[in-house]
Amino acid sequence: MSDTDKFEVVPLRAFKDNYIWTLRNRRYAAVVDPGDAQPVLDYLQRERLELCAILATHHHPDHVGGISELLASRSVPVYGPRGEPIATLTHPVHEGDEVEIVQLGLRFRVLDIPGHTRAHIAYYGANSLFCGDTLFACGCGRLFEGTAQQMAASLAKLAALPDATLVYSGHEYTLANIDFARAVEPDNAELAARAASESEKRRHERPTLPSTIARERQTNPFLRCTQPAVIAAASKHLGAAVSDPVQVFAAIRQWKNNY
Ligand SMILES: [Zn+2]
């Protein structure tokens, strides 16, 4: 922690492979997707921080399950998707809303990114994107409540953010995602280089996140559905020629489900 009051982002591990992203300065912290309260409570105590806000991206228990316990001994605003059943929300938000965390000097814009769930949202600000289970490093979330069309549009919205945007996803799925991405694009040199560098991070048990939008655009097959190599791989896997980006997306999403 530096002496300045600039915020930093710290990953807290939860369950098998979840990250609870913790935004903090010297005095305050906000958490994104606290599926479990205990890692957050431990961190707040250890670092002598005061929780000032909770942000949720979608309603799955591994992202919101710790909220009520965090609220048991304190009262802080809880932001989350207006269109999903999360009983603990105090501030339901959707596309176009702003979330300001004054204690951290941060302001985020809310983006609607349905597909994994029906009203999944992301928080974008301070050159950072908190995107839950929609965009992963080299992958994307499963379609539990949305259509391929919705998910493809949500991913396109995220892919259009500035190249340097830091991408904070909800899970450490990167190495498995890279395995699949290499099956889709065996000749992608950036992807091969990424496989080596991310494996090295995991060997030292370091997070592979955050990623960047630029890196995802180069290596994430789900953001590359207009690339000839991805179109060809999707068509070959389907046994039928597809070219429409949504059909290409649907084909590789289905392929990955069974991979
Ligand atoms: Zn989820």
pLDDT digits (tens, 9 = 90+) for 10-30: 999 999 999 999 999 999 999
Distance CA 84, CA 72 (A): 22
Asked if 63 is an active-site residue, the reply is yes
Is 204 an active-site residue?
A: no
pLDDT digits (tens, 9 = 90+) for 169-201: 999 999 999 999 999 999 999 999 999 999 999
Q: How remote is the CA of residue 133 from the centroid of ligand 1, in Å?
A: 5
Examine the pLDDT at 242 and tell me if it is beyond 70: yes
Query: Which entry of 33, 36, 58, 59 is annotated as an active-site residue?
Result: 58
Terminal-to-terminal C-alpha distance of the chain: 41
Query: Distance, CA 119 to ligand 1 centroid (Å)?
Result: 11
60 is a catalytic site residue: yes
Active site residue 62: yes
Mean pLDDT for the stretch of residues 124-134: 98
The model's pLDDT over 31-62, given as tens digits with 9 standing for 90+, comes to 999 999 999 999 999 999 999 999 999 999 99
As a whole number, mean pLDDT of residues 115-142 equals 98
| CA 224 to ligand 1 centroid distance, Å | 22
Please confirm, yes or no, whether 94 is among the known catalytic residues.
no
Q: How high is the pLDDT of residue 6? A: 84
CA angle 258, 122, 222 (to 5 degrees): 35
| Residues 68-84 pLDDT 10s | 999 999 999 999 999 99
171 is catalytic: yes
**Of residues 33, 36, 112, 116, which has the active-site annotation?**
116
The reply to whether the predicted model has a pTM over 0.85 is yes
What average pLDDT does the segment 222-237 reach?
Answer: 98
Active-site residue (options: 33, 36, 59, 63): 63
| Res. 116: pLDDT tops 90 | yes
Catalytic residue (one of 59, 62, 112, 120): 62
Flag whether pLDDT at 1 surpasses 60. Answer: no
- How far apart are the CA of 116 and the centre of ligand 1, in A? 7
The residue type at 174: T
SS3 annotation, the chain = CCCCCCCEEEEEEECCCEEEEEEECCCEEEEECCCCCHHHHHHHHHHCCEEEEEECCCCCHHHHCCHHHHHCCCCCCEEEECCCCCCCCCEEECCCCEEEEHHHCEEEEEEECCCCCCCCEEEEECCEEECCCCEECCEECCCCCCCHHHHHHHHHHHHCCCCCCEEECCECCHHHHHHHHHHHCCCCHHHHHHHHHHHHHHHCCCCCCCEEHHHHHHHCHHHCCCCHHHHHHHHHHHCCCCCCHHHHHHHHHHHHHCC
Confidence of residue 239 (pLDDT cuts 50, 70, 90): very high
Cα(216) to ligand 1 centroid in Å equals: 20
